[in-house]
Amino acid sequence: MERYFSSKSVPRPFPNAAVALGNFDGVHIGHKYIISKTIELAKKTGGVSVVYTFDPHPVKILAPESCPLLIQTISQRLAALEDLKVDVSIVENFTHEFAAQTPEQFFEQILIKRLGAKAIVVGYDFTFGYHRGGTIEVLEELGKRHNVEVLVVEAKFVGDLLLSSTEIRHFVSTGNVEEAEQMLGRPFRIEGKVVAGKGLGAYLGAHTANIEPENELLPGNGVYLSLTYVFERRATSDERRCWPSITSIGHNPTFPGGPFSVETHLIGFEGKLLGEIIAVDFLKKMRDQIAFPSVEKLHGQIIKDVEEARIWHENRTL
């Protein structure tokens, strides 16, 4: 997949480009449907499939106090797009100057002149241009005027719930990671570097990797069944080990005043992870974080949690 971090860096218009427009935060199953339609349109004309997205999120520039916590980092978003076999991804730097363009300017100068769009695919609620004046109706009219096919994908539902990044954020932040997975089409994941902790995990009977998350959005406080992927610095980019794990998020209430932390225990792992980049997939919430009356009670609960997690993971792989 070709990657560009500005439409200005695209050397020439793409042949018969089919372009998907959107923020695509999470690259959830609704986004995947939009992108699959984009790839289909490109294949029909022997053209190029292009995903055009933004960084930072437009709301972060236009109304920062209302900006949501993003589901993915930009690198995670691009990796997810590459997994979908997109030909080209373009990440546009969203600025006040960019936002000041009229819908006509954006359509003509960027989509047609820079990208060579012959087909455009968007979700039902997509807007663009100054003060979000580029509605679906405006987009369709511009498409007719310039002989560009416009495909609008209708809303998708999971059960009775509208499929959206907003709904996924709600599920993740409240600890309902299984519901989030249903909408994402994969487990919710965070990535980050392993940093030095206070050694409480080892003291309490379970060595943990303390993660400095790159992600803005984190699951609600609690203890989770998880899978942890180790990206070793000495390995090739495609070499990674997956370990069954149990992950704790929050302020350990048994030790009041302690820092917020994300700690994962890799079941069966022996070795050092300090400084490594790891990724954690959240599969199921086990329990809330609670204050225990003594360190001994906490130690006993941790031993119990790890054993329950080991059994759960073993049964899951049967």
Mean pLDDT for the stretch of residues 196-205: 60
pLDDT at position 251: 85
Residue 160 pLDDT > 50? yes
Alpha carbon of 178 to those of 26, 30, 123, 138, 244: distances in Å? Answer: 15, 17, 25, 38, 17
Q: Where are the domains of the chain?
A: 2-158, 187-316
pLDDT at position 197: 75
| % of the chain beyond a pLDDT of 70 | 93
Residue 203 pLDDT > 50? no
Q: What is the dihedral of CA 106, 76, 41, 19, to 10 degrees?
A: 10
**At 49, is the pLDDT very low, low, confident or very high (cuts 50, 70, 90)?**
very high
pLDDT at position 236: 47
Residue 28 pLDDT > 60? yes
Identify whether the C-beta of residue 218 lies closer than 8 Å to the C-beta of residue 262: yes
| Class of domain 2-158 as given by CATH | alpha beta
Evaluate whether the domain defined by 187-316 bears CATH number 2.60.40.4070.
no
Q: Mean pLDDT in the chain?
A: 92
Instruction: State pLDDT tens for residues 260-280.
Output: 999 999 999 988 899 999 999
User: Among 305, 196, 177, which Cα is nearest to 261's?
Assistant: 196
Q: Which two tokens stand for residue 242?
A: 């997956």
Per mean pLDDT, which range of 151-155, 247-251, 300-304 is the poorest?
300-304
pLDDT at position 297: 83
Distance between CA 36 and CA 124 in Å, rounded? 16
Per mean pLDDT, which range of 24-38, 105-119, 247-261 is the poorest?
247-261
Distance between CA 21 and CA 31 in Å, rounded? 10
The overall pTM is greater than 0.85 = yes
Q: Which amino acid is at 78?
A: L
Residue 281 pLDDT > 80? yes
CA-based R_g, the chain, Å:
22
pLDDT at position 239: 53
